[in-house]
Amino acid sequence: MQDAAFDADREAVIGRAVEAGIVRILAPGYDLTSSQAAVALAEAHPELIDAAVGVHPHFSAAPTPAEWDELAVLAADPRVVAVGEIGLDFHRDLSSREAQRAAFERQLAMAASVRKPVLIHSRDAHDEVRTALLAWKGPGRGTLRGVLHCFSGDATLAQDLAAGGYLISFALPVTFSSARGPRAAAAALPGGSFLVETDSPWLAPGGGDQRNEPTTALRVAAELARLRGTSPDAIASGVAAAYRLLVGVSASTG
Ligand SMILES: [Zn+2]
């Protein structure tokens, strides 16, 4: 894939994002190789792109002990702003739940030890994810911050996590009238407690085989503005401020 046409195509996507007014993109990993690719992408575009590194629940059972060590070194790297995507997916169960829980806990601890936020994937596992994240707020465990991405829960879950200092991130499904929980959450959350995202390559606006690129996040912001009775610009500044707090001042200067 890493040929000249691919590179040109990627630069075109980045160009369209900048043209549309997007000022910061967080690119997560889902295994060691994609995490290294996210770091390389951020290094190539430090003015626009931040990298997160992590093992997605689908791949929880895959890393060798040496790969886990390598990921921990990468998580501590100053070029990396967050640990993710990590979490639990009991919808597809592509790794055993035992392996998912172990990888999730390992990476929560990894993020806490390097004092970086977590990017959380939760599918059909909301109660367990809520318990795990809020447990990190207890005495003696330090503090953990992070974001629950592509939010698919209800307003109560969103508010519980926001009260615990976590952000909620919305993707295109919040524009669907059937997404009652996420829409109610988006309307009720306090300002400064949410982000917008693409969840690319999934959830493309045109469906299945269409490309989902950063400009999709603008559609999400426009819908949040409608749901909250405010302007897209107000949503954008709230999201930018929340993102700066999430990743820390040093990563927010672009
Ligand atoms: Zn995800």
Q: How far is the CA of 20 from the centre of ligand 1 (A)?
A: 24
pLDDT per residue as tens digits for the range 170-182: 999 999 999 999 9
**DSSP string for residues in 74-111:** HHHSTTEEEEEEEEEETTT--S-HHHHHHHHHHHHHHH
Q: What is the pLDDT of residue 142?
A: 65
The whole-number average pLDDT for the span 191-210 is 87
Q: What is the pLDDT of residue 86?
A: 98
Q: How far is the CA of 190 from the centre of ligand 1 (A)?
A: 23
Q: How far is the CA of 79 from the centre of ligand 1 (A)?
A: 22
Q: Look over the chain and give the mean of its residue pLDDT values, rounded to a whole number.
A: 92
Is it the case that residue 74 has pLDDT exceeding 90?
A: yes
Q: What is the pLDDT of residue 78?
A: 94
Residue 45 lies in a domain: no
At 8, is the pLDDT very low, low, confident or very high (cuts 50, 70, 90)?
A: confident
| 191 phi and psi angles, rounded to 5 deg | -55, 150
Q: What is the pLDDT of residue 5?
A: 85
Number of domains composing the chain: 1
Q: How far is the CA of 237 from the centre of ligand 1 (A)?
A: 24
Residue 32 lies in a domain: no
Q: Using CA atoms, how far apart are residues 57 and 13, in angstroms rounded to an integer?
A: 27
At 2, is the pLDDT very low, low, confident or very high (cuts 50, 70, 90)?
A: low
Supply the CATH number for residue 186's domain: 3.20.20.140
Q: How far is the CA of 76 from the centre of ligand 1 (A)?
A: 22
Residue 41 lies in a domain: no
Is it the case that residue 4 has pLDDT exceeding 90?
A: no
At 210, is the pLDDT very low, low, confident or very high (cuts 50, 70, 90)?
A: confident
190: which DSSP letter?
A: P
Q: Using CA atoms, how far apart are residues 4 and 220, in angstroms rounded to an integer?
A: 31
Q: How far is the CA of 202 from the centre of ligand 1 (A)?
A: 9
Is it the case that residue 254 has pLDDT exceeding 70?
A: no
The whole-number average pLDDT for the span 71-76 is 97
Residue 30 lies in a domain: no
Residue 36 lies in a domain: no
165: which DSSP letter?
A: T
Q: How far is the CA of 149 from the centre of ligand 1 (A)?
A: 6
Residue ranges making up the domain that contains 159? 54-248
Q: What is the pLDDT of residue 252?
A: 39
Q: How far is the CA of 57 from the centre of ligand 1 (A)?
A: 9
Residue 75 lies in a domain: yes
Closest listed residue to residue 77, CA positions, set 136, 129, 29:
29
Q: How far is the CA of 121 from the centre of ligand 1 (A)?
A: 4
Q: What is the pLDDT of residue 178?
A: 95
Q: What is the pLDDT of residue 248?
A: 85
Q: What is the pLDDT of residue 251?
A: 42
Q: How far is the CA of 127 from the centre of ligand 1 (A)?
A: 16
Burial of 144 (0-12, 13-18, 19+ CB in 10 A): buried
Q: What is the pLDDT of residue 141?
A: 65
Residue 11 lies in a domain: no
Q: How far is the CA of 199 from the centre of ligand 1 (A)?
A: 7
pLDDT per residue as tens digits for the range 121-147: 999 999 999 999 999 876 666 679 999
Residue 5 lies in a domain: no
Q: How far is the CA of 151 from the centre of ligand 1 (A)?
A: 9
